[in-house]
Amino acid sequence: MYRLFHILCLLAACLLLAVSCKRTDAERARILKIYNWGDYIDEEVLMEFRDWYKEQTGESIRIIYQVFDINEVMLTKIERGHEDYDLVCPSEYIIERMLKNDLLLPIDRNFGNTPDYTKNIAPYIREELDKLSQPGMSTNDYAVAYMWGTAGILYNEEFVTAEEASTWDCLWNPYYKGRILMKDSYRDAYGTAIIYAHTKELEEGTVTVEQLINDNSPEAIALAEKYLKELKPNIAGWEADFGKEMMTKGKAWLNLTWSGDAVWAIEEAEAVGVELGYEVPVEGSNIWYDGWVIPKYARNVKAASYFINYMCRPDIALRNMDTIGYVSAVASPEILEAKIDPELDTWSDLSYFFGPEADSVQVDPVQYPDYSVVKRCAMIRDFGDRTELVLEMWSRVKGDNLNISILILIFAVFGLLFFWIVYQRVQKYKQKQKHRRRRKKLKRGL
């Protein structure tokens, strides 16, 4: 009887637990957890998603929105599996890594009566992302591009000419010592160093930018380390997201940054009378693509895929672009029309992105690079299990690890301090002994 009572209690406890878990699941189904780059969305657009989702599905949703500013920080959280984000926004080489490591869920594009806006993504970008596909896994089934752009040099026109900024050489010029801000992104820094180290070979056409930025051989790692260490004295700081603001205040003259940050900074600076420019160096650079993916630990895949779809609505894409400065992967005619500025005196070939009718258009070349710029750039690929080696090199360059000479100095200082304290104590002891002996002598004399 007693035993039966115990079993019943246990069953009741299990039932209660199951019911409470069920409730938690139901609550979680009304939450959408997004992990995105900082400064990478129009906040009103984000808030309006709730109403749109309700209109489309009849369901209410609450958004939990968190931000990161370094790809690897986000990746570590996903790899550890401690976070149940429904949506994250990595760059291409991280998407490739996530695909390889089976960290993603396919995106369901069955939106019922809602149109599938993801079809608005430029075919050019789909093709680029397709290069990251893994056996049996097409990237475009697992990722929808969000924003894209180039890495280049943002410069203050008062101190740097466009000609100087149009080669990576300016970063190594001692004249700019302490005037340069570098994006705290090891793949951008690595690629830049390797490209610059091979300026001659690139001119001769014996190597390509794509080969260089994706070379992780021991020789390439050592070469990048050498060049980055030479560059270090010129660097005023490694910035995650504050470089654009420092540039608008004239606190730095050069900034290795991404085109979207450059667009934002150029506009903000203009308002306060600081003139900034942006160049993608002639040697070549990387062209990057950030995309929405659903991690395998996601708990609200329905809302996640609706959010991705919403981001691809041309009007939403335009509002995001206007707020953050970056360029949407959506390539619809209304976007091209909104971006044409008849006052510009540059005409670009954007047919690769918008189609043949856009072969000579007046569109901001910092946002949308001319085809000639795209041709000298390449996409960063995952370094696989050699990533660790490159990251170790990166921390040696940045000095995250304690330098051996600093360690010796610390030991020497503490050693000296120790001997000095011991010496003082010995002296004191000797003096005490002397006094004691003198007192004893005096006593005996009395």
Q: Does 38 bind ligand SPD (CB under 6 A)?
A: yes
Structure tokens at 148: 């894209």
Instruction: For residue 38, give Cα distances in angstroms to 67, 96, 254, 395.
Output: 5, 22, 22, 23
Q: Does 241 bind ligand SPD (CB under 6 A)?
A: yes
How wide is the angle at C-alpha 325 spanned by C-alphas 323 and 329, nearest 5°? 100
**How far is 309 from 314, CA to CA, in rounded Å?**
10
Q: Does 91 bind ligand SPD (CB under 6 A)?
A: yes
Q: Does 40 bind ligand SPD (CB under 6 A)?
A: yes
- Tell me whether residue 40 or residue 253 sits nearer to ligand SPD (CB atom): 40
Contact stretch for ligand SPD (CB under 6 A) within 14-22, 33-41, 56-64, 315-323: 33-41
Q: Does 349 bind ligand SPD (CB under 6 A)?
A: no
Q: Does 306 bind ligand SPD (CB under 6 A)?
A: no
- What is the residue type of 375? K
**How far is 394 from 221, CA to CA, in rounded Å?**
9
Name beta bridge partners: 35: 66, 88
Structure tokens at 297: 């630990």
Contact stretch for ligand SPD (CB under 6 A) within 15-23, 31-39, 335-343, 412-420: 31-39
Q: Does 148 bind ligand SPD (CB under 6 A)?
A: no
Contact stretch for ligand SPD (CB under 6 A) within 17-25, 35-43, 128-136, 199-207: 35-43
> What is the total count of residues that contact ligand SPD (CB under 6 A)?
9
Contact 352, 361 (CB under 8 A): no
- Tell me whether residue 61 or residue 171 sits nearer to ligand SPD (CB atom): 171
DSSP string, 43-64: HHHHHHHHHHHHHHHS---EEE
- Provide the angle, in degrees to the nearest 10, between the axes of the packed helices 218-231 and 186-197: 100
- Tell me whether residue 176 or residue 307 sits nearer to ligand SPD (CB atom): 307
- Tell me whether residue 49 or residue 288 sits nearer to ligand SPD (CB atom): 288
Residues 61-90 binding ligand SPD (CB under 6 A) are: none
Structure tokens at 6: 């115990």
Q: Does 290 bind ligand SPD (CB under 6 A)?
A: yes
Contact stretch for ligand SPD (CB under 6 A) within 11-19, 32-40, 56-64, 104-112: 32-40
**How far is 424 from 441, CA to CA, in rounded Å?**
26
- Tell me whether residue 258 or residue 354 sits nearer to ligand SPD (CB atom): 258
Structure tokens at 81: 């599996």
- Tell me whether residue 176 or residue 394 sits nearer to ligand SPD (CB atom): 394
Binding site for ligand SPD (CB under 6 A): 37-40, 91, 241, 258, 288, 290
